[in-house]
Amino acid sequence: MDRSKVIVIPCDSYDEEKVYSALKKGLLELGGLKSIVKPEEKILVKPNLLSAAIPDKAVTTHPSVLKAVYRLLSECGCENVKSGDSPGHGSCEGAMKLLGLNDDTMYGAKLTPMSENVHVDFSDGITCKEFDFCKEVVESDAIINVCKMKTHALERITGAVKNVYGFVCGYRKAAGHVKFPNDTVFARMLADIHRCTHPRLHIMDGIIAMEGNGPGAGTPTPMNVTLISEDPVALDTVYCYLINLDPELVPTNSQGCRMGIGTDKEDEIEIILCDPDESNTGTSGHIINKNELFEKYGNADFDVGREKPKNTFLMKYSGFMTKLARRPVIDKEKCVKCGICVDHCPVPGKAVEFKNGKSSPPVYDYKKCIRCYCCQEMCPQHAIRPVRGPFRRH
Ligand code: SF4
Ligand code: SF4
């Protein structure tokens, strides 16, 4: 059986030439980009644009990584390349502008707003049989998923598997959190998005990653790697190896593997370490195991949730156990009472509200809260943090 290849290319800066060389060299290990896309195809390059943020914040895929992808596609003769995301808050254009990306800097790729919705029936769906996707997702022949190495309050990490949630158009994302209200079913829905859309290639920007209170309010931390794979689960599994996190604790890995979009099994993954500085123009990678990889590039102190779930069965299926999950808490000193958390709470009747008027921070109703952490993701002041402890009320 062929093992899933995950290419790891060390890269210690966002210097555009360095990143371009790293990705070009890494792609050779998969036969080159020309073996993955055809010049005549309509291609969508999907970054992680969670919200508008300058590159140094590590909230979004770094523009140097995106520019390298656009440039490589241009060199393959691909002339019909679009790129965009459907951010949870704000516009795609606003997020791309802060990254310095526009039609003049994208090597012929066109910025696309990802704001028009197309309903898609997916009878083969295992957990989800219909989606509201952005039009560009449906219209493209091939999707290149350019994700960011970050932590995530619901799924522990966000990487290649999670990044496809941006295919769901705009505010409709909120409804998905209500319909799939815990980490396991949400991960299964994400796997169905992969089964429906089949992104062809996954590239991870892990040069500066985000640890801690991700995906929007964590701390940038250098990991100095880029990862490439055609298997999103294998890629995220190798990301877990690098941060000393058991891959099986990540629902997007375990459910993605069960639903057939990739593998999280060590003996089914081939890790290829690639040296981008080698002067030869051919392949330069060699196979290494996860321990060798960790020794060279791992970070045992990476701030990510490593605790084991207390009761796997109940965590998956019981609403009661939701109450035992970490609950969002507002830091009153940081809160500017903008109400963005209230706007983004997907629960009917809202689980966070201005109960004491708009001159005081919003207040949670933890009985209603489904722990989707949309409020934490969207708070522009980084004032919300998931906190362990089930029964505290404020
Ligand atoms: S989004 Fe953040 S800053 Fe705005 S009201 Fe909510 S907690 Fe306060
Ligand atoms: S209060 Fe926050 S975590 Fe709770 S349901 Fe609303 S958005 Fe999700």
Boundary residue ending a domain (297, 329, 357): 297
Structure confidence at residue 394 (pLDDT): 36
pLDDT digits (tens, 9 = 90+) for 75-93: 999 999 999 999 978 899 9
pLDDT digits (tens, 9 = 90+) for 225-243: 999 999 999 999 999 999 9
Is residue 111 within 8 A of residue 102, CB to CB? The reply is yes
What CATH number did the domain enclosing 223 receive? Answer: 3.40.50.11440
Tell me: cis bond preceding 220? Omega within 30 of 0 counts.
no
Token pair in block for residue 163: 């990044």
Number of domains composing the chain: 2
> Residue 392 above 50 pLDDT?
no
Q: Are strands 4-10 and 219-229 parallel, antiparallel or unpaired?
A: antiparallel
pLDDT band at 1 (very low <50, low <70, confident <90, very high): confident
Mean pLDDT of 253-268: 98
Distance from the alpha carbon of residue 312 to the mean position of ligand 2, in angstroms? 22
Ligand that lies nearest to the alpha carbon of residue 338, given by its number in the listed order: 1
365 Cα nearest atom in ligand 2:
1
| Integer Cα distance of 289 and 269 in angstroms | 9
Which amino acid residue places its CA nearest to atom 4 of ligand 1?
Answer: 338
Does the Cβ of 88 fall within 6 Å of ligand 1?
no
| Integer Cα distance of 209 and 322 in angstroms | 28
Which amino acid residue places its CA nearest to atom 2 of ligand 1?
Answer: 379
Cα Rg, the chain, nearest whole Å = 20
> Residue 358 above 90 pLDDT?
yes
What CATH number did the domain enclosing 347 receive? Answer: 3.30.70.20
pLDDT band at 391 (very low <50, low <70, confident <90, very high): very low
In a domain, 225, yes or no: yes
Is residue 240 within 8 A of residue 232, CB to CB? The reply is no
Boundary residue ending a domain (297, 330, 349): 297
Write down the residue that tokens 């722990």 correspond to: 371
Whether residue 134 sits in one domain with residue 48: yes
For the full predicted model, state whether its pTM sits above 0.85: yes
Ligand that lies nearest to the alpha carbon of residue 328, given by its number in the listed order: 2
Distance from the alpha carbon of residue 97 to the mean position of ligand 1, in angstroms? 24
Whether residue 52 sits in one domain with residue 16: yes
pLDDT digits (tens, 9 = 90+) for 176-199: 999 999 999 999 999 999 999 999
pLDDT digits (tens, 9 = 90+) for 310-333: 665 555 555 555 666 799 999 999
Structure confidence at residue 309 (pLDDT): 81
Does the Cβ of 95 fall within 6 Å of ligand 2?
no
| Integer Cα distance of 238 and 262 in angstroms | 12
Whether residue 161 sits in one domain with residue 40: yes
> In this structure, which long-range contacts are made by residues 316-322, counting pairs with CB atoms below 8 Å and at least 24 apart in sequence?
316/182, 316/184, 316/185, 319/181, 322/181, 322/182, 322/369, 322/370, 322/371
Token pair in block for residue 325: 């999950």
Write down the residue that tokens 């799924």 correspond to: 155
Print the domain residue range for 253: 4-297
Does the Cβ of 217 fall within 6 Å of ligand 1?
no
Does the Cβ of 371 fall within 6 Å of ligand 2?
yes
Does the Cβ of 330 fall within 6 Å of ligand 1?
yes
Mean pLDDT of 243-262: 98
Whether residue 50 sits in one domain with residue 171: yes
Whether residue 348 sits in one domain with residue 228: no
| Integer Cα distance of 131 and 120 in angstroms | 5
Whether residue 163 sits in one domain with residue 60: yes
Torsion angles phi and psi, residue 241, rounded to 5: -55, -40
- When comparing pLDDT for 105 and 320, which is higher? 105
Q: What does each C-alpha distance from 394 to 325, 327, 370 come to in angstroms?
A: 15, 10, 16
Does the Cβ of 327 fall within 6 Å of ligand 2?
no
pLDDT digits (tens, 9 = 90+) for 202-213: 999 999 999 999
How much of the chain, in percent, has pLDDT values that exceed 90? 88
Whether residue 180 sits in one domain with residue 96: yes
> Residue 23 above 80 pLDDT?
yes
Mean pLDDT of 118-139: 98
Which amino acid residue places its CA nearest to atom 7 of ligand 2?
Answer: 345
pLDDT band at 288 (very low <50, low <70, confident <90, very high): very high
